[in-house]
Structure 1
Amino acid sequence: MHAAGRSGKGRGQHFLLSAAARRLSVAQVARLDDDEAYRLFCGIRWCATEGEPVCPHCGCVAVYRHAKRRIFTCKSCVRQFSVTSGTMFHGRKMPIRDLLVAIAIFTNGAKGHSALHLARDLSCQYKTAFVLAHKLREALGSETKTREAMGTIEIDGAYFGGYVKPANWRENRVDRRLAKNQNGKRRVVIVMRERGGRTLPFVVRHEVQSVETLEKRIRPGSTVHADEARSWDALYYAGIDVKRINHQEAYSDGEACTNGAESFFSRIRRAEIGMHHHIAGPYLNDYAHEMAWREDARRIDNGTQFLLVGLAALIHPPSTRWKGYWQRAKRIAPS
């Protein structure tokens, strides 16, 4: 718990309850007029030039401004572009102010925000909100998919999807470890969490299949903390310095601890149970990266989070996964 403030009784106050966590409200964004929303959008897209347009094709800052339309013509390559050209919002139909409101709503969800709620908040079709939310998740996760972990790293794995737990009656109990009682849809989220650094997840079918990826994405000289699962035994043979903790005996023994990784999985479970209810299949990787970002940004005020999400979407190229999704032009490949 972060002691960002003190309550009247002297107890530590959770950061999300403090005034420091509140720097932006959805009402503030919704009250922007079209010109104000457009200037804010330009300021996020071209923050390095204080909102002045930069050609996405050649990088030239000398442009012609069109009086009747919000587009620009580059003086160097003579190509036209807009504030959303070459971004995740390329070809958008939703007004810019509504996009900003959507980003604010998405950001303010401590446990995520469902597409159904987003569709009601924006008064748009569920399909529109579904794709928009997943585009934001893709943008947030794009920079961490190939990033290497370093320093002291906690690793762990947790299975998601493929099974809805029934009421705990004796006659319903079956051994879900047996292949005959599985539907083949379960996937495991593997997390590499740097202490004092980033949270880097990825998805595999079985925990043991993650070792090859871990070898590639853990920098030499790092120290890895893992639990007693036999899947991690192969890390010793890869020459990685591994410290183990047996969770059947303790959660920390002074030598090894994976509580940071467990905290990340707790956030995903809360999002699954309390918000999305189903985060399995080909979308599991997107939800994992979203929750990793939320875990890393949990001490950042929501105004800064809003700018970070907007910037991530505006520097990300058009999505090849979600463009034309509902027309089946592109299908989402399984993770």
Structure 2
Amino acid sequence: METMTMAQHFLLSAKARTLSIRAIYKAGEEKAYEQFRSIRWASTNGQAVCPRCGCVDTYEITTRRRFKCAACHHQFSVTSGTIFHSRKMGFTDLLAAIALFVNAVKGMSALQMSRDLDCQYKTAFVLCHKLREAMANETAGFTLDGEVEIDGAYFGGSIKPQNRKEDRIDRRLKEHQTGTRRVVIGLRQRAGRTLTFVRNFEHEGVQIARDLVASASTVFADEATHWDVLEAFFPTERINHSEAYSEGHGKHTNWVESFFSRLRRMVAGQHHGVSPKYLAAYASNAAWCEDHRRRDNGCNAVALVGNAMLSPVSRSWCGYWQK
């Protein structure tokens, strides 16, 4: 008698696990330093390049892990001019933090990171947001084409109801809103990348689509009336979610809904609420995890290190606690 076997999920397979925290700490600080160096200067096989003038003729100050440019005499380190500029954390801890961050496919709270690395909450908070900024930079300037799904989901702004029924208010009324409710607009190219934007109203996604989606692309949207405008600019397919989630033949918005599902679990399950100030960062985090969900954690860690090395000094998080 034949039996049917279900295919194993990728995250349950050994192929998904190519990097471990144990291996990082076993290799030691020097190995982690060489990893950062080889990723930043991959084109020169780890040979330092001056970030100020671009000269490859440099001297290495081994006792301080710094370099001096022979042309402009500028001294710099492997993290100078990057998002990790002025870092104080060791390279082993930094690489371990990145590994922990990419392993958390539904997000990692700063409190959990501070406990895992035995560092201050403030250090973990800024580090996590720097990593989210590096993730967002990966899709900066991207445009979408082919088949693109668009949708929006609202976050925040809820008011906890009073205990006694007679004391409760109608939380749907405008005068009872907190002013912190925002919509995350997601545009996802099928077999491509996910772009996210935080706005006050979902209909603002129409202009975003016009700016970032190629005119010949097919746009998939739900039954919301504000998406009707898209039909004037793109071949458009609509799905009425009150009747079905998918009508077959590719007529659905399941891919972008999958991103929103991950973001909701991230906000509700890990962070227990996100303020509008940081919502865009968490949306970028969820989009990056969703786009790379089929890549092993070792490749994800190396990719995130590369994004961080390519990202300039953060203007939002450099000296954050000093305002």
Scaled by the length of structure 1, the TM-score of the pair is: 0.90
Separation in 1, partners of 2:25, 2:221: 46
Separation in 1, partners of 2:163, 2:39: 50
Query: Where in structure 2 are the equivalents of 1:114-133 lying within 5 Å?
Result: 114-133=109-128
Separation in 1, partners of 2:31, 2:19: 15
Separation in 1, partners of 2:168, 2:160: 10
Give the one of 80, 83, 90 matched to 2:85.
90
Tell me: higher relative CO, structure 1 or 2? Use CA pairs within 8 A at least 6 residues apart.
Answer: 2
Q: Which amino acid aligns with 2:234?
A: I
Give the one of 154, 157, 160 matched to 2:149.
154
Aligned partners of 1:187 and 1:280 also within 8 Å? no
Give the one of 203, 207, 212 matched to 2:202.
207
- Alignment partner of 1:320: what SS? coil
Deviation at 1:169, TM superposition (A): 9.9
CA offsets 1:65-120 (integer angstroms, 9 cap, x no match):
12432111122322111101100111111112111111111111121111000001
Give the match for residue 220 of structure 1.
Answer: 215
**Correspondence 1:110 to 2:105:** yes
Deviation at 1:234, TM superposition (A): 2.0
Give the match for residue 331 of structure 1.
Answer: none
Give the match for residue 242 of structure 2.
Answer: 248
Deviation at 1:176, TM superposition (A): 3.9
Task: Name the CA shift for 1:172/1:227 in 2 (closer, same or farther; >3 Å).
Answer: farther
Most deviating of 132-141 and 8-17: 8-17
Scaled by the length of structure 2, the TM-score of the pair is: 0.93
**Correspondence 1:10 to 2:37:** no
**Correspondence 1:306 to 2:301:** yes
Separation in 1, partners of 2:107, 2:62: 40
**Correspondence 1:294 to 2:292:** no
Separation in 2, partners of 1:29, 1:88: 21
Q: Which amino acid aligns with 1:120?
A: R
Structure 1: gaps (5+ residues): 1-7, 329-335
Q: Which amino acid aligns with 2:241?
A: H
Aligned partners of 2:130 and 2:317 also within 8 Å? yes
Give the one of 44, 56, 60 matched to 1:65.
60
- Alignment partner of 2:27: what SS? coil
User: How many residues of Structure 1 are paired with residues of Structure 2 in the alignment?
Assistant: 320
CA offsets 1:272-307 (integer angstroms, 9 cap, x no match):
122111123110000000100000000000000010
Aligned partners of 2:263 and 2:286 also within 8 Å? yes
Identity %: 52
Deviation at 1:146, TM superposition (A): 3.2
CA offsets 1:133-192 (integer angstroms, 9 cap, x no match):
000000100232432111100000000112166699977876543212311101100011
